[in-house]
Amino acid sequence: MPSKNSNNRLLALDIGATHTRIASFDNDLSIQDSEYFDTPRKQLAEKLNQKIIDFIKDKPDANGLAISVAGPVVGNKVIFTNIEGKPTLSVDDFTNLIPKTVIINDAAAAAYAESISRHCDNLVYITFSSGIGVGVIKDGNIVKFENTTAELGHIFIESEIDVLCGCGGKNHWEAFSSGVDIPNYYTKWLKSKNLDTDCKIVQDIYKEAEEGKEPAYSFISQEIGNINDYAINKIIELYRPEVIIIGGPVALKNTELFLAGISNETKLKTKLSFTDFGDDISLIGAANWYRNHIE
């Protein structure tokens, strides 16, 4: 998708609660090279600027920056509610380094990438990662959520077991089904059934579930499956998407278990698909958004 300024190199940052990725794009919006690093816990803007400086030493033509972020974007600013201290970030933090900068929610960026790829104006993208992010394209436009509690990853779930969400709320979808929170909910679920409560990381829980071991299999395929099914149905009721695309490592590394938890009734309501873009999706979406709206 060539731009008016087709000789300009574009950079993109995908800033998550746990990891950040920086990438360089060519004129066809293909990733040329990229690097992963841990998301800074302190001095966020300063350390990200230094990472960019280090990354572009051999890329003097880079003069555009597209940033996707795990959080609601209001104007040109985001508050990272899932990072200690809840730091803020805005385009102003980068304009001394790269004059043209845009910030977009990561799930919205992913939905935008899928919308372009699939030529679809009504779709939903859901990422199951450290948290749960949901991006919505309605009638060709990104639906914006301007605060954390309005984001669809924070749909309220009726439950006899209370869990605290990273945003400070209680019994939000993310607090049950995200990669960070599944182990906590698993421990509480086991205690409620008077079962062994040895703490496990999310990868171990899914590994045992994949092997058919109880109680992990019932927890993932039924308990987590029912919660995901309920939340997805709420999203279908709200937006009537033509397709729902699933991404994020928690789902993409466990596609069969994920689908096993979704009811046939839900599958008949709308098409469910997994993204083909993998970890690149938010970077690609942010880069496309920049080219189509900034240049």
pLDDT (tens digit per residue) in 251-280: 999 999 999 999 999 999 999 999 999 999
What are the start-end ranges of the H helices in 96-252? 106-118, 173-177, 182-192, 202-210, 216-218, 225-239, 249-252
Please enumerate in sequence order all residues whose Cβ is within 8 A of that of 25, keeping only pairs 6 or more positions apart, or say none.
Answer: 9, 10, 11, 12, 31, 32, 287
Section 92-116 average pLDDT: 93
Structural contact between residues 257 and 266, judged by C-beta atoms closer than 8 angstroms: no
Dihedral over Cα of 214, 219, 223, 227: its sign: negative
What was the pLDDT predicted at 295?
A: 66
Residue that is written with structure tokens 């509690």 in the block: 149
Does residue 34 have a pLDDT over 70?
Answer: yes
- The residues that bridge with 156 in the sheet, in sequence order, are 172
Among 3-17, 173-187, 197-211, which is the least confidently predicted range? 3-17
Q: Are residues 130 and 220 in the same domain?
A: yes
Residue that is written with structure tokens 């960026």 in the block: 109
Percent of the chain with pLDDT over 90: 73
Q: Are residues 55 and 129 in the same domain?
A: no
CATH code for the domain in which residue 45 is found: 3.30.420.40
Please enumerate in sequence order all residues whose Cβ is within 8 A of that of 219, keeping only pairs 6 or more positions apart, or say none.
Answer: 186, 189, 190, 205, 209
State pLDDT tens for residues 37-76. Answer: 999 988 999 999 999 999 988 765 677 999 999 888 888 8
Among 143-147, 239-243, 282-286, which is the least confidently predicted range? 143-147
Local structure of residue 220 (DSSP, 8 states):
I
Q: Does residue 3 fall inside a structural domain?
A: no
Q: Does residue 200 fall inside a structural domain?
A: yes
Specify which of 17-31, 78-92, 105-119 reaches the highest per-range mean pLDDT.
105-119
Extended beta strands in the chain, E state: 9-15, 19-25, 31-38, 62-69, 73-74, 77-79, 88-90, 100-105, 123-128, 132-138, 141-142, 243-247, 271-274
Does residue 2 have a pLDDT over 80?
Answer: no
Q: Are residues 150 and 172 in the same domain?
A: yes
**In which domain, by residue range, is 244 found?**
119-276
Task: Please state the length of the chain.
Answer: 295
Q: Does residue 33 fall inside a structural domain?
A: yes
Q: Does residue 2 fall inside a structural domain?
A: no
Provide the domain count of the chain. Answer: 2
